[in-house]
Amino acid sequence: MSTSRRRRTARPAPRARRGRRGVVRQGPLRTHWLLLTALLLTLAAALLIQGYTQHLFDHRPDQDARPAGAATVPEAVRTGGPVIDAAGPQPRSAGPKPGTVALTFDDGPDPRWTPEVLDTLRRNGVHATFFVVGTQAAAHPDLVRRIVAEGHQLGVHTFTHTDLGTQPAWRRSLELRETQLTLAGAAGVTTSLLRPPYSSTADALDDPAWSAVQQAGREGYLTVLTTRDSEDWRRPGIESIVNTVIGEPGNRQGQIVLMHDAGGDRMQTVAALDGLLPQMKGIGFRFTTVSEAVGLPDPVRPATGTEHWQGLALIQVLRTGDGTLTVLGWLLYAAGAVSVVRAVVVLVAARRHRKLRRRRSWGPPVTEPVSVIVPAYNESAGIEAAVRSLLASDHPVEVIVVDDGSTDGTADLVEFLHLPYVRVIRQANAGKPAALNTGIAAARAELLVMVDGDTVFEPDAVRMLVQPFADPAVGAVSGNAKVVNRGGLLGRWQHIEYVVGFNLDRRLFDLGECMPTVPGAVGAFRRSAVLAAGGVGDETLAEDTDLTMALCRDGWRVVYEERAKAWTEAPASLSALWRQRYRWCYGTLQAMWKHRGALRQGGQAGKLGRRGLGYLLLFQVLLPLLAPVVDVFALYGLAFLDPVRVLGLWLAFLLVQLLMGVYAFRLDGERLGPLWSLPLQQFVYRQLMYLVVIQAVFTALAGSRLRWQRMQRYGSLRVPVQDDPAAVRPEPVGVGGYRAQVHEAVRDPGQGT
């Protein structure tokens, strides 16, 4: 044995105990659930707003779909001017004065083209009217302020460039109100001018569009249509745009001209302005705003303080939503890439581990006796099956049952069985670590197997478990725990988790020499190594993880022996599963924090720190914390993105998991039948597991203490049939055919009651 492994051989003085587990919670945490709910609701609201503004945005050009005829549009409107007041029972309209041109620009502001349009108008001393889209104004409030500062007029072009004629009344009002708030927040003004997207001239109004104009009139808006469309949205060429705007020679009628400063490449629009403005001025036209062209008071008014602050809040929400979506996108891409890489690495590692196991020889067969320690607290439902399965081992064992103050007669039951080579030690209730330390102190053998009182061993499990100790560098061995109660969906899901999640990871940890946990259900240890590490600690709720990490930091190698199989009872209810996993996760976080110093160490400790702890942090803490966001984003994708693509990605993710499951089940010699429930696992079990992680992380961050939570036993354990290790004996324990094969190498210590 190396010097580094001899440096702590003296048995440490007993530590002061602080009661059962040393940790007691004063009461359940509630604040973090309220915080989590608030965060998820805020995220959902931000995504809903972002989805509404971005993915319900109608990107069609304004004249892409011209309306058909109309039956209810008043004749006075159809033949009247382009500015319509539909507020009263008798709608009124007005047209621009002769020789007057009101240039109007739709769909902006755009960071690329609006500044160039403004620069051109300023060079030519022309004021125009800009009908802005709310989402664009929220994204570029500086441009809205510049439009107002340079003397131009603002109008509303809806919030998402939607066709108002096709929308219900509530959506129309929402579109207009949100745009007004955006203008109030961006520039401190409101306007009563409205140009509905996909509108044209007054004689082209149809019934749905007229209905929208009427509603806008009742809400205080003047609808501004056009008299001439430059058709710059078609990008027909600079000369064509100029000729269209100028019209026929000698025509002095006033015009409201439709142009665009956003919605696509507007290079032709900017170039056409440079030509037509001087040319039209030269033939006597005067350029002005819409209100001045038709002789109306200025429709732009200062916003109230309330409107201004509401507008600022709306802009901030929209910006936050955009930023959140960007961050989420990168996080999800990273999480997806990491998950795929993990799947590939785990599968490759599992295959490599299998090949190495076939070729690897630990050394001469290990035949020395083993002390099996069974800490028991109220384990009467399964203790008989556990002890009998251990005595049925094909390896010499002594069994030490440490009764930790049970109140259900666990110790009495074991003593009543009168089994050879079994000792019962009673102690006052002090917790599982104390019970294990009591067993370690009483053990006769150097090799220890620690097993929970709800676990049944295969006949060859002990022998398989201790063979790696032929290598003097090995300090502990993890066995292969299997779920015995697989009935129902919950049992199947845990069975899948044990086979796929735990055992594939352990193969990877074995290859990386960074095993963080030897499970309490089935694990073996060198007694001298455990004592040198200070025994089993009680500072965490995961004493098995704590001890394993301590051994790694002392320079010992911890390996995985998948052939050492033991059967354990899994929780049979969601509440019991929650309590178990909550304890596991919280205890793992405690152990990770306790052994964080391994990150700075070298050798075996450094491998644990940089490989094992890094893996646990990434895949058992950070990714589960991101899982609720993934679910919310998936719902967002179904509602606002391409649902076929979202479903395709989900199915691809599920396929990767299924392939991992098939391979893991093949490695363990399991039937593939339970894998049919894997898709259903994504809708209940997965959510429960990440909620457990969230609860544990919040508990740890809050510095709260968690009491020990024992799982309820159901008595479903039976001694496995020796010629079929995968089967569970249906008869009650003790019925026929199981003779304990105890070798003479273990002498009866005199307390084999």
Q: Pick the catalytic residue from 62, 106, 261, 538.
A: 106
Residue 529 lies in a domain: yes
Residue 618 DSSP symbol? I
For residues 159 and 133, is the Cβ–Cβ distance under 8 A?
A: yes
298 is catalytic: no
d(CA 564, CA 95): 91
Decide which of 236 and 37 is more confident. Answer: 236
pLDDT in tens, 533-580: 999 999 998 999 999 999 999 999 999 999 999 999 888 888 889 888
* Sequential DSSP letters for 443-496: --SSEEEE--TTEEE-TTHHHHHHGGGGSTTEEEEEEEEEES---HHHHHHHHH
> Token pair of 392, please?
């049925």
**CA-closest candidate to residue 67, choices 217, 215, 203, 167:** 203
Residue 637 sits in a domain whose CATH number is 3.90.550.10
Q: DSSP character for 375?
A: E
- Picking from 636, 701, 588, the residue whose alpha carbon sits closest to that of residue 47 is 636
The phi and psi torsions of 523 (rounded to 5 degrees) equal: -155, 150
pLDDT tens for each residue of 487-543 = 889 999 999 999 988 889 999 999 999 999 999 999 999 999 999 999 999 999 899
262 band by pLDDT with thresholds 50, 70 and 90 = very high
Q: How far apart (Å, rounded) are the C-alpha atoms in residues 688 and 679?
A: 15
Instruction: Give tens-digit pLDDT for 226-248.
Output: 999 999 989 999 999 999 998 87
pLDDT of residue 44: 74
Is the pLDDT at 19 greater than 70? The verdict is no
In a domain? residue 379: yes
Q: Let me know if residue 598 belongs to a domain.
A: yes
Q: How far, in Å, CA of 495 to CA of 497, rounded?
A: 5
Determine, yes or no, domain membership for 513. Answer: yes
Q: Which domain holds residue 512?
A: 3-37+366-702
CA 262 to chain CA centroid, Å, is: 36
Band (pLDDT 50/70/90 cuts) for residue 624 is confident
Helix (H) or strand (E) holding 343: helix 305-359
Total number of domains in the chain:
1
Confidence of residue 738 (pLDDT cuts 50, 70, 90): very low
Whether 260 is catalytic = yes
The number of beta carbons lying within 10 Å of the beta carbon of residue 344 is: 12
d(CA 324, CA 263) in angstroms, rounded, equals 24
Q: How confident is the model over 417-470, as pLDDT tens digits?
A: 999 999 999 999 999 999 999 999 999 999 999 999 889 999 999 999 999 999
Average pLDDT, rounded, for the chain: 85
pLDDT at 741 over 70: no
- Amino acid code (one letter) for 623: L
Q: Above pLDDT 70, what percent of the chain?
A: 86
Q: Return the beta strands (E) in 81-219 as ranges.
A: 83-85, 92-94, 100-108, 129-132, 153-156, 189-191, 193-194
Q: Give the other-Cβ count within 10 Å of 442's Cβ.
A: 16
Alpha helices for 2-92 (secondary structure H):
3-6, 31-55, 75-78
Candidates 152, 161, 260, 595; catalytic one: 260
The distance from CA 609 to its chain's CA centroid, rounded to whole angstroms, is 25
**Which candidate, 671, 669, 455, places its Cα nearest to that of 566?**
455
The one-letter amino acid at 676:
W
Judge whether 29 lies within some domain: yes
Q: Does 519 fall in a domain?
A: yes
Torsion from C-alpha of 240, 241, 245, 247, nearest 10 degrees: 0
Residue 92 within any structural domain of the chain: no
Whole-number Å distance between alpha carbons of 286 and 202:
23
Average pLDDT over residues 252-262: 93
Residue 13 lies in a domain: yes
Would you place residue 321 in the very low, low, confident or very high pLDDT band (cuts 50, 70, 90)?
Answer: confident
pLDDT of residue 46: 72
Residue whose token pair is 């800009």: 130
Q: What pLDDT shows up at residue 630?
A: 81
The 10s digit of each residue's pLDDT in 674-731 is 999 998 888 888 888 888 888 888 888 776 655 545 555 555 555 544 334 333 333 3
Burial call 633-664: b when 16+ CB within 10 Å, e when fewer: bbebbeebeeeeebeeeeeebeebbbebbebb
Bridge partners of residue 476, in order along the sequence: 525, 558
